[in-house]
A and B are shown apart, each in its own frame.
Chain A
Amino acid sequence: MVYATPLLAVALTLVSGFVLFWTMGFDPVKALHAFFIEPVSSVRGVGELAVKATPLVLCAIGLAIGFRANVWNIGAEGQLTLGAITGGGLALAFYGDGGWWLLPLMVVAGMAGGALWAAIPAFLRIRFNASEILTSLMLNYVALHLLNYLMHGPYRDPEGFAFPESRLFEADAVMPLLIAGTRVHLGSLFALLAVAGGWLLMARTFIGFQIKVIGLTPTAAGYAGFNQKKIIWLTLLLSGALAGLAGLGEVAGPIGQLNPTISPGYGYTAIIVAFLGRLHPVGILLAGFLMALSFIGGEAAQIALGLPKAITGVFQGMLLFFLLATDVLIRYRVRFGAKSIAGRAAA
């Protein structure tokens, strides 16, 4: 059932997609082909999937660990932005003076920046009991405005005709490419490492065990002496660091500079990816690819058929609904006819 269900969901999506495109006046076969087949029909296409999925997976891994512990980090978008600001800022600071050490330093700085931004909601929650949902969400907007401010000011390329864009990063500050003919960069390797690391953490370490228990039964965790504060710090800092790494990967990778629009909402999409992947690292990897495919497929459909972007959003939503709805077949056994007896509810 675990494997059949996603296939069932995709099948349902294909059928309803077929109907949707047909009623909107587009060739349904061509549309579905553009959505699902075209993006994977070339090496470059698959590479683009990896490029798009990388920040999603990086963020989602960290978020999922937090969600397991009932720590609701909604601030991945802001933490990603801070990672780009700190890591990218180093690239600008050492412009012209770089060396082989610049990129590793940027990676560390990016992770530190993201972790720092996540430390704020962590501190506010532990010290003042302020909900991290709200604080991390609000900080997303603050981070965005901060980026904007920097891009119109100190980070701006002095020779750039006052455009709000930074200098293009030099070779020492750019993520090396992994596969020729694609944009796949080192960040994707980090994402795979994060998947492996996340799995190791949750499945094989004591801390992972603590996280799971705290999430499921906080009282029992308290009796067992698990330190909830430590876990809150750990999960928030970890997800912040991973999100920061994702942000750094974007600006040092495919974008190659800092500008005001480094993320089309990866931090929020990563939350969907985390749950689609059922908070499990391997699931997240697959879900990341699937989400990336739905975005890229939408672009391909626009180019190939003139399908309006709005329809791709509807299609994406449908895909997600079917995936989420068919989940019930995995978690419960469906029986028809038998009515539950109210008296049995005492069980």
Chain B
Amino acid sequence: MGKTLMGLAAGAAVLALGVGAADAQDKMKVGFVYVGPVSDHGYSYQHDQGRLAVEKELGDKVTTTFVENVPEGADAERVIEQLASSGHKLIFTTSFGFMNPTLKVAQRHPDVKFEHATGYKRAANVATYSARFYEGRTVIGQIAGKMTKSNIIGYIGSFPIPEVVSGINAFTLAMREVNPKAEVRVVWVNSWYDPGKEAEAAKALIDQGADVISLHTDSPAAIQVAQERGLYVFGQSSDMTRFGPKAHLTAIVDDWRSYYVDRVKAALDGTWKSQDTWGGFKDHMLFLAPYNPALPADIVAAAEKTRTDIMEGKRHSFQGPVKDQSGKVVIPEGKSATDEQILKMDWYVEGVQGKVPK
């Protein structure tokens, strides 16, 4: 068995060299690793839109490769390693579960640059990046507060991680500001993408009286449920209007395009440095999908003002006073939450039903 394998490997090596030699390129190779399918029309899809933007703008200088549906366990390191070993000079790993595998591979390949999304560990050749999605939550929370008649908002959560919890909180704070009687009910589906579960969660929340739905999961299932029941919903990760034209008020759309193009350019002209980027509206890392034409003009105007205020730094999603569910003031008046507080958020603000699953 050993001898055959060795012989096979030797023969294969010769073959591999023969086929590989023909692929020598001048263009820089850029790799992308996705945790889900590109076709999810949500999170991974938006990352791929970033990749396509890179191809469109810099296609004469780079070629891109992507691997989709990479599980976050032991397989991730192998895929990243394979990209690094096959000539890719810049690799984007787009899910937080890829953090440690990225660092392990980065250690072995100091000449390759890595960009890890939504993580917190860096190295000389590993940068991190994410978007301040919670800024978008503030805007839609405000709209929700004004549009709800039952004063119950349903929130479909994926996993109780700080990114989702801070989103719930930002949403609730803005909602209560315009409607102190409204409350948010959260249901966790323990998955980023499960249309069946998300639809069931939406129905359960609606049956409990919610008339506006917000979600932090990636499929358009809840949009369809809201449309069917004549209620309102906000899309997530991408514009989901076509799944519920009457129900879809707006959506938070991830936008990695300008960031990816910038970073690839930096890698090309040698100015790339490891850094942490956490960009919001003003850095073009997220935007809101077009508002539903049925939204009253004054609500749209107020939403736009909130958005521009955030963009210009006049308003912070977590500006004090912010009270937690017990009534204790966590962020005093006049102050705003620090980045670290937001990154570690694992408690709810006043107005959210239930407790954060721990």
Contacts and interface: CB of A to CB of B under 8 A. Distances in A.
A255 B74 contact: yes
A239 B83 CA distance: 36
B159 A261 contact: no
Contact of A257 (B31, B37, B66, B100): B100
B216 to A, nearest CB: 15
A46 B162 contact: no
A250 B345 CA distance: 30
Interface in B37-77: 37, 65-75, 77
* Interface hub of A163, A183, A253, A309 (most chain B Cβ within 10 A): A163
Interface in B158-187: 159-162
A33 B70 CA distance: 21
A40 B160 contact: no
B335 interface: no
A308 B38 CA distance: 10
B344 A299 contact: no
B97 interface: yes
Interface stretch (B13-21, B250-258, B274-282, B293-301): B13-21
A163 B344 CA distance: 9
* Interface hub of B15, B19, B82 (most chain A Cβ within 10 A): B82
B73 A250 contact: yes
A152 B157 CA distance: 14
A264 interface: yes
Given A38-B16, A40-B9, A161-B344, A261 B100 contact: no
Nearest to A295: B75
Contacts of B83: 303
B326 interface: no
A40 B100 contact: no
A304 B70 CA distance: 16
A152 B74 contact: no
Contacts of B97: 165, 259-261
A41 B345 contact: no
B86 interface: yes
Contacts of B28: none
Contacts of B150: none
Contacts of B81: 44
Contacts of A161: 120, 162, 343-344
Given A41-B13, A148-B190, A261 B19 contact: no
A256 B71 contact: no
Contacts of B357: 149, 152-153
Nearest to A163: B96
A162 interface: yes
B5 A46 contact: yes
A153 B159 CA distance: 12
B328 interface: no
A61 to B, nearest CB: 17
Nearest to B31: A303
Contact of B162 (A51, A162, A259, A299): A162
Contacts of A162: 161-162, 343-346
B159 A152 contact: yes
A302 B67 contact: yes
B236 to A, nearest CB: 20
B79 interface: yes
A303 B8 contact: no
A228 interface: no
B344 A296 contact: no
Given A48-B78, A163-B96, A40 B12 contact: yes
Contacts of B31: 303
B78 A264 contact: no
A125 interface: no
B15 A264 contact: no
B3 interface: no
Contacts of A152: 159-161, 357-358
Interface string A34-45: 000110111010
B67 A250 contact: no
Contacts of B120: 160-161, 163
B213 to A, nearest CB: 23
Interface string B189-232: 01000000000000000000000000000000000000000000
A126 interface: no
A84 to B, nearest CB: 10
A164 interface: yes
A58 B86 CA distance: 31
Contacts of A309: 37, 67-69
B78 A296 contact: yes
Contacts of A46: 5, 9
B72 A259 contact: yes
Contacts of A256: 100
Contacts of B77: 183, 254
Contact of A255 (B69, B73, B85, B345): B73
A261 B72 contact: yes
Interface of A: 30, 33, 37-38, 40-42, 44, 46, 48, 51-52, 145, 148-149, 152-153, 160-165, 168, 183, 250, 253-257, 259-264, 295-296, 299-300, 302-304, 306, 308-309
Given A44-B85, A256-B100, A262-B73, 12 more contacts: A41-B9, A52-B74, A149-B357, A153-B357, A162-B343, A162-B344, A163-B120, A183-B77, A296-B78, A299-B67, A303-B31, A309-B68
